[in-house]
Structure 1
Amino acid sequence: MFFSLSLLLITGNYKRLIKSLIYLFIFFALYELVLMYSKNAMFLSMFRMMMLFLPCIILASLLISEYNSSEMLSALQMVRLPKIFIIGLTVTLRYIPTFKKEFKIIKEAMRIRGVKFSVLHPLRSFEYLLVPQLYRCLTLSSELTSAGLTKGMDAPYKRTSFYKRKFLITDYIAIITLILGYSLIIGGVI
């Protein structure tokens, strides 16, 4: 969490940093309230998972908002990651904004049909959102595949790019912070 929040601070995304801190506070407060008063295992695990996934969501939102897919592809290729990993990560990050738009369309369609979303019936509400999203994924996957093929993802040759990104001092500081934090967690200090 510290790493993702510090990246928001370094990149100057102060509005997103404040939003992330508010979400973190809300999830932590709800987790503590359920822990103190209810001890309901389902809600405890749900709020805990939300807090654990928040750093991933922060990092993904930073990548999506600051860089386009071609920049991500060229940067990951410079690090010499496996091609299958680069393609998977790029497609996943490219799909998130599309998923957000589709989610709004589905919610609007459900509102027009008079289907109510309720926190009291989370499984039913999840089903109402998930089933249309899965059907929409079929057409979106073919569109994303076509876009990837157009960009030459399946070409056996080394991909060239006109984005030349170099490592800056902030990149080295971020990597050292991540490695140090991870080693402290593994070592049991934190």
Structure 2
Amino acid sequence: MTDRSIHVDFRAKLILFGLAFILSASMTHDLPIILALFFLLIYLVVQGFARAGIIGFCAGVIFALIRFATGEGGLTLFLPDVMTFATLRILVVVMAAYAMVRMPPGEVSAAFYNMHFPHVLSLPVTFMLRFVPTIHSEFRAVFAAMRLRHILSLSHPLRTFEYVLIPMMIRSSDVSDRLAASAELRGIENPGPHTCLRVIRLRRTDVILSLLGLVVTLLCLTLDKLVMN
């Protein structure tokens, strides 16, 4: 995240994620999906995640063009229409979730505390949001080690899968233990008030983004019904 980026409160991100999930489950045509992806592109850019936003939006446009060009037949047996249809809708959820995953876990925990969420719900979500970027870096380390040893080969996919799976299982277990120890050290089980270095409050920007997300959601749902008719 760059210094010029806009900070968005976790609660606003949670609202936008819920709206994205509704769109992903409701829309049947690609045009509203592209509109939603464009809004999420702007949403990520203003937070300093331009690269992830551009990649997600371009991937959505490519899949939409493939569906438009191939129709119901899909692009060969390995990329049927149902897969491109599902991938487009999953992209909406993934782009909305990306900004949440990149948040500091302490801020997420403090936001959950302010919302009076029960620990049985807030703790798993906090650990998941912290676990995802850590595992991403672990995957990069495993692939770098495989390239260094010249054992990363597409000609032997099952063997390559084994070389990736076994180290990731071991490293994931170690990462989960370290994350749990770090959370305990930071007092995540403390029954008292949880504090955060960043002020946890809804700002004008958060309200505007939430309202814009609601407007875009209603517009996409309306457009989807118009296309159906």
1:135 paired residue among 162, 170, 188: 170
Classify 1:140/1:156 alpha carbon distance in 2 versus 1 (closer, same or farther; 3 Å).
same
2:205 paired residue among 153, 165, 170: 170
Q: Which stretch of the first structure deviates more once superposed, 86-95 or 51-60?
A: 51-60
C-alpha distance in 2 between matches for 1:44 and 1:99 = 30
1:75 paired residue among 101, 108, 111: 111
- DSSP 3-state at the match of 1:152: coil
The structural deviation recorded for 1:171 is: 1.4
Q: Which stretch of the first structure deviates more once superposed, 89-98 or 4-13?
A: 4-13
1:149 paired residue among 184, 198, 210: 184
1:111 paired residue among 147, 166, 173: 147
Q: Which residue does 2:9 correspond to in 1?
A: none
Contact 1:75–1:165 under 8 Å retained in 2: yes
C-alpha distance in 1 between matches for 2:146 and 2:199 = 45
Q: Which residue does 1:85 correspond to in 2?
A: 121
Q: Which stretch of the first structure deviates more once superposed, 145-154 or 90-99?
A: 90-99
Classify 1:38/1:62 alpha carbon distance in 2 versus 1 (closer, same or farther; 3 Å).
closer
1:22 paired residue among 54, 58, 64: 58
The structural deviation recorded for 1:121 is: 7.1
Higher RCO (CA 8 Å, separation ≥ 6 residues): 2
Classify 1:105/1:89 alpha carbon distance in 2 versus 1 (closer, same or farther; 3 Å).
same
Q: TM-score, normalised by structure 2?
A: 0.64
Contact 2:138–2:168 under 8 Å retained in 1: yes
Classify 1:171/1:117 alpha carbon distance in 2 versus 1 (closer, same or farther; 3 Å).
farther
Q: Which stretch of the first structure deviates more once superposed, 69-78 or 26-35?
A: 26-35
Structure 2 unaligned blocks of 5 or more: 1-35
Classify 1:43/1:135 alpha carbon distance in 2 versus 1 (closer, same or farther; 3 Å).
farther
Classify 1:185/1:18 alpha carbon distance in 2 versus 1 (closer, same or farther; 3 Å).
closer
The structural deviation recorded for 1:144 is: 0.6
1:94-126 deviation digits (Å, cap 9, x = unpaired): 1222112211121123224433343x8766654
C-alpha distance in 2 between matches for 1:82 and 1:56 = 24
C-alpha distance in 2 between matches for 1:93 and 1:54 = 18
Contact 1:34–1:43 under 8 Å retained in 2: no
C-alpha distance in 1 between matches for 2:213 and 2:118 = 21
C-alpha distance in 2 between matches for 1:19 and 1:51 = 13
1:141-175 deviation digits (Å, cap 9, x = unpaired): 11010011111112223323343222122212332
Classify 1:166/1:14 alpha carbon distance in 2 versus 1 (closer, same or farther; 3 Å).
same
C-alpha distance in 2 between matches for 1:12 and 1:93 = 18
Identity %: 23
Q: Which stretch of the first structure deviates more once superposed, 180-189 or 22-31?
A: 180-189
2:100 paired residue among 49, 63, 68: 63
C-alpha distance in 1 between matches for 2:121 and 2:70 = 38
C-alpha distance in 2 between matches for 1:48 and 1:6 = 23
